[in-house]
């Protein structure tokens, strides 16, 4: 359907009513320039596509009705759900179709409800449009918290659950998708279905990590546990990758060196001489010696840890942390820590965001590349990519995050794709650039992907973006057939999430 024709249908309540779209839903479709422009790009600032119209729903029924309408007739148009649009490659766009602005579901009132049951314990029923920061604040009012997070909390629940939702807690609790009891999903056919591992499980598992291809998540029942009060936030420096990765793997093994329960959060960073290097975490007096160390080696690695505690552990937490750090191989004298509130730790990236916004460095291009790298090849990746491509070519490194996770914390029935090894690493190359220079970073990304292919490193992309259909086939591997079956069952006209381009030619 062309934008002009769709615009005609939208502007005429009589015509839309005849085609099956009630006037009250048609009135929530907008094709004015402000609405169209508001959905024409995303966090990446790389892809720019105009929808024909934007739906501002007040209820999940509005979404279901629109999708039922989209399945009528012989001409179909794409529909994409847009939360906070933190995608980097247009995944939440629908060229010449309709974008659903999920945030207006907030007009229904509070969409975070905390409950408790004998079978599930504490949980929260959460609207798919809710930001994780709002979920956190609402659950903390009950001294409760979700257990698995993303690094940035200003993302929607439906958005992260459609991918996986990972952070430094994943090694212990699994990704966010494995901490969900139940979903409400509006399928591509417009059916509103409540599903779980026991009720319509095939939809439940395919929607979690399913890139929005089988349905739009409008509610999730999230597992909760007692919330800690504070966090000891630590960073350790390394100049040797082998020591860095070995210590990370020990930290996620579940126990510290002395047999104690370990840290609650484990991540890591790669720092490069060419920068830029963010030293805001560290005392100003230590900046010169950190910079000197980086200039000496050209590349450094830092492990980031957090140990949560509550009032009962306040007097003993320093001793606990000291014991947990005993015997590790970080550089002497290069250990730094802060004592912060639990919410301030989880919301740490937002603090950085506020700083970057003041410097006009937030709303810029983000040609990101996120990979899962098998443990057996992470040293080769360090040599070939970190020390090779990025360091030797003096690529402005931006933020590089790398840390290990455990396969047994994931549920293979879900749509998310990970490497086959028991331990694998997240490698997030979070490049930032001017709006006109992002292609140079994309060339570097392509070089990295080609290196992995030539070296036989069996990576998987996280938040994947592919230009060729064969790449999607390779990405899903053995999961492709079942994922296709779910797509054709729940979205037979391939209406949903066209910006992902998963089923363009399948």
**Summary mean pLDDT of the chain:** 93
Task: Provide the percentage of residues in the chain whose pLDDT is more than 90.
Answer: 86
279 has a pLDDT exceeding 50: yes
Residue 502, judged by CB atoms within 10 A of its CB (0-12, 13-18, 19+), counts as buried
Note the pLDDT of residue 384.
Answer: 98
CB 475 within 8 A of CB 210: no
The mean pLDDT of 346-355, rounded to a whole number, is 93
260 has a pLDDT exceeding 50: no
329 CB-near residues (< 8 Å, 6+ apart): 238, 240, 243, 246, 247
Question: What is the distance between the alpha carbons of residues 386 and 238, in angstroms, rounded to a whole number?
Answer: 14
| pLDDT band at 434; cut points 50, 70, 90 | confident
Are 3-103 and 230-461 in the same CATH fold? Answer: no
Catalytic residue among 42, 86, 129, 184: 86
Note the pLDDT of residue 360.
Answer: 87
What is the dotted CATH code of the domain comprising 3-103?
3.30.43.10
Note the pLDDT of residue 22.
Answer: 86
| pLDDT band at 11; cut points 50, 70, 90 | very low
Q: Which CATH class is domain 230-461?
A: alpha beta
How do residues 134-174 score in pLDDT, each as one tens digit? 999 999 999 999 999 999 999 999 999 999 999 999 999 99
Question: What is the distance between the alpha carbons of residues 467 and 446, in angstroms, rounded to a whole number?
Answer: 12
| pLDDT band at 107; cut points 50, 70, 90 | confident
Question: What is the distance between the alpha carbons of residues 343 and 73, in angstroms, rounded to a whole number?
Answer: 50
Note the pLDDT of residue 6.
Answer: 47
267 catalytically annotated: yes
Q: Which of 372, 479, 453, 475 is nearest to 419 (CA)?
A: 372
At 304, is the secondary structure helix, strand, or coil?
A: strand
394 has a pLDDT exceeding 90: yes
The mean pLDDT of 111-129, rounded to a whole number, is 97
Note the pLDDT of residue 471.
Answer: 94
199 has a pLDDT exceeding 60: yes
The mean pLDDT of 453-479, rounded to a whole number, is 95
Q: Which of 131-135, 237-241, 275-279, 341-345 has the lowest mean pLDDT?
A: 275-279
The mean pLDDT of 70-75, rounded to a whole number, is 81
| pLDDT band at 295; cut points 50, 70, 90 | very high
Q: Which of 388, 136, 404, 474 is nearest to 250 (CA)?
A: 404
Is the domain spanning 110-226 CATH 3.30.465.10? The answer is yes
How do residues 320-336 score in pLDDT, each as one tens digit? 999 999 999 999 999 99
86 catalytically annotated: yes
Catalytic residue among 62, 184, 247, 267: 267
467 catalytically annotated: no
The mean pLDDT of 273-283, rounded to a whole number, is 94
- Cis check: omega of the bond before 276, within 30 degrees of 0: yes
Question: What is the distance between the alpha carbons of residues 506 and 496, in angstroms, rounded to a whole number?
Answer: 14
Angle between helices 469-476 and 480-490 (to 10 degrees): 110
Domain segments of the chain as ranges: 3-103, 110-226, 230-461
Question: What is the distance between the alpha carbons of residues 299 and 293, in angstroms, rounded to a whole number?
Answer: 9
Complete edge-to-edge strand list for the sheet that includes strand 79-82: 29-30, 53-55, 98-101, 79-82
Note the pLDDT of residue 281.
Answer: 97
CB 398 within 8 A of CB 427: no
Catalytic residue among 76, 125, 151, 344: 151
For residue 263, report the phi and psi dihedrals to the nearest 5 degrees. -75, 160
Note the pLDDT of residue 506.
Answer: 62
pTM value is: 0.94
| pLDDT band at 76; cut points 50, 70, 90 | confident
């Amino acid at each position: 359907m062309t934008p002009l024709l769709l615009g005609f249908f939208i502007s005429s309540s009589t015509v839309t009513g005849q085609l099956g779209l009630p006037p009250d839903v048609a009135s929530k479709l907008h094709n004015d320039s402000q609405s169209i422009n508001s959905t024409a790009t995303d966090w990446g600032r790389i892809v720019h596509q105009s929808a024909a119209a934007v739906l501002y729903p007040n209820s999940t029924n509005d979404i279901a009705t629109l999708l039922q309408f989209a399945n009528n007739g012989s001409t179909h148009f794409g529909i994409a759900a847009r939360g906070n649009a933190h995608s980097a490659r247009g995944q939440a766009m629908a060229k010449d179709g309709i974008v659903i602005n999920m945030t207006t579901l907030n007009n229904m009132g509070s969409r975070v409800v905390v409950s408790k049951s004998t079978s599930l314990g504490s949980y929260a029923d959460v609207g798919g449009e809710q930001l994780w920061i709002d979920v956190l604040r609402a659950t903390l009012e009950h001294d409760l918290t979700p257990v698995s997070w993303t690094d940035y909390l200003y993302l929607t629940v439906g958005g992260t659950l459609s991918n996986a939702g990972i952070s430094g807690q994943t090694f212990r609790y699994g990704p966010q998708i494995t901490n969900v009891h139940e979903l409400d999903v509006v399928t591509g056919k417009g059916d509103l279905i409540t599903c779980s591992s026991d009720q319509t499980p095939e939809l439940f598992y395919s929607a979690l990590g399913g890139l929005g291809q089988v349905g739009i998540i409008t509610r999730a029942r999230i597992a909760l546990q007692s919330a800690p009060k504070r966090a000891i936030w630590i960073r350790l420096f390394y100049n040797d990758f082998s020591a860095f990765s070995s210590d990370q793997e020990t930290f996620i093994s579940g126990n510290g060196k002395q047999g104690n329960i370990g840290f609650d959060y484990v991540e890591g960073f790669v720092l490069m001489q060419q920068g830029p290097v963010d030293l805001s975490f560290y005392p100003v007096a230590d900046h010169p010696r950190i910079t000197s160390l980086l200039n000496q080696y050209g590349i450094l690695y830092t492990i980031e840890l957090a140990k949560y505690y509550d009032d009962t552990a306040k007097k003993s937490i320093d001793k606990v942390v000291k014991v947990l750090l005993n015997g590790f191989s970080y550089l002497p004298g290069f250990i730094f820590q802060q004592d912060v509130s639990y919410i301030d730790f989880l919301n740490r990236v937002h603090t950085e965001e506020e700083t970057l916004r003041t410097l006009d460095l937030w709303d810029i291009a983000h040609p990101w590349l996120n990979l899962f790298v098998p443990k057996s090849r992470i040293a080769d990746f360090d040599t070939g990519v970190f020390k090779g491509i990025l360091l030797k070519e003096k690529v402005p490194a931006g933020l590089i995050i790398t840390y290990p996770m455990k396969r047994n914390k994931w549920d293979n029935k879900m749509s998310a794709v990970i490497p086959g090894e028991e331990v694998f690493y997240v490698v997030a190359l979070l490049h930032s650039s001017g709006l006109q220079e992002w292609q140079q970073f994309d060339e570097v990304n392509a070089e990295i992907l080609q290196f992995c292919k030539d070296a036989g490193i069996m990576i998987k992309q996280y938040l994947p973006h592919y230009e060729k259909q064969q790449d999607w086939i390779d990405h899903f591997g053995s999961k492709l057939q079942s994922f296709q079956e779910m797509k054709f069952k729940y979205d037979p006209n391939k209406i949903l999430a066209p910006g992902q381009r998963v089923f363009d030619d399948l």
